[in-house]
């Protein structure tokens, strides 16, 4: 009887571990999808439209993560929490987003550099916000128990990692575009 009970506990533990892995993989996929969106919005050439768009993307990411982890969601509360996390935890990331967006107002070079810089910072910020909250929710936290000050160091670490992820995504996209372009040229030559 005791062996059966131990076997059931072992099976339940394996099931729980697989379930946690599945949730973490789903959260990572959600975060990556929202990073893609943030990169795209960051390229938008009109100043401050990108800033508003990325804020909406991050809010949507928080809504989806809260659904995944079964955490109650309040739009107004989450807006304030994200603002406190980004602004208070790493002022350079918020400042960089605003500066990159504002530089788009300078015709020519400013628009190009602003779009590229804004896209990377927007993607990195979205990645960091997603990772911070995925970890917080996985540990049993809620929006009410979130402390931006305690998340500061992890946000900064994830922002740096997010810059690398954003750069990798842009490289992957460029490689895909180049491959598609080469295929188009090849088809055109054969016509």
Q: Please give the angle made by the CA atoms of 113, 114 and 116, to the nearest 5 degrees.
A: 65
Q: Which residue segment(s) compose the domain that 184 sits in?
A: 2-190
Provide the token pair at 35.
């990073």
For 62, 65, 85, 133, 191, the CA distances from 69, given in Å and listed in that order, are 10, 6, 20, 10, 53
Burial (0-12, 13-18, 19+ Cβ within 10 Å), 10: exposed
- Helices marked H in 43-147: 49-68, 75-89, 91-103, 109-138
Per-residue confidence (pLDDT) for residue 83, from 0 to 100: 86
Q: pLDDT tens digits for 85-114?
A: 887 654 444 445 445 444 444 444 444 444
Q: From CA 16, how far away is CA 23, in angstroms rounded?
A: 11
pTM: 0.71
Burial (0-12, 13-18, 19+ Cβ within 10 Å), 88: middle
Q: For the chain, give the percent of residues with pLDDT over 70.
A: 61
Query: 106 with 134: CB under 8 angstroms?
Result: no
Give the number of domains in the chain: 1
- Look over the chain and give the mean of its residue pLDDT values, rounded to a whole number: 76
HSE-up of 133 (CA within 13 Å, CB side)? Answer: 31
- pLDDT band, residue 84 (cuts 50/70/90): confident
Per-residue confidence (pLDDT) for residue 186, from 0 to 100: 58
For 2, 17, 31, 45, the CA distances from 160, given in Å and listed in that order, are 50, 29, 15, 24
> Averaged over 27-50, what is the pLDDT?
85
């Amino acid at each position: 009887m005791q062996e059966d009970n131990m076997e059931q506990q072992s099976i339940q533990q394996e099931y729980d571990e697989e379930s946690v892995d599945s949730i973490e993989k789903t959260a990572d996929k959600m975060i990556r999808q929202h990073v893609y969106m943030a990169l795209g919005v960051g390229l938008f050439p009109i100043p401050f439209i990108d800033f508003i768009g990325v804020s909406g993307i991050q809010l949507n990411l928080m809504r989806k993560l809260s659904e995944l982890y079964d955490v109650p969601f309040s739009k107004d509360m989450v807006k304030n929490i994200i603002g406190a996390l980004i602004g208070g935890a790493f002022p350079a990331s918020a400042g960089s987003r605003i500066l990159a967006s504002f530089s788009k107002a300078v015709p020519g070079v400013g628009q190009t550099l602003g779009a590229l810089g804004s896209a990377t910072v927007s993607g990195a910020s979205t990645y960091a916000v997603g990772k911070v909250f995925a970890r917080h929710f996985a540990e049993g936290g809620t929006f009410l128990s979130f402390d931006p000050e305690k998340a500061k160091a992890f946000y900064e670490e994830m922002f740096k990692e997010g810059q690398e992820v954003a750069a990798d995504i842009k490289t992957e996209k460029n490689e895909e575009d180049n491959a598609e372009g080469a295929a188009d040229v090849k088809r055109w030559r054969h016509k």
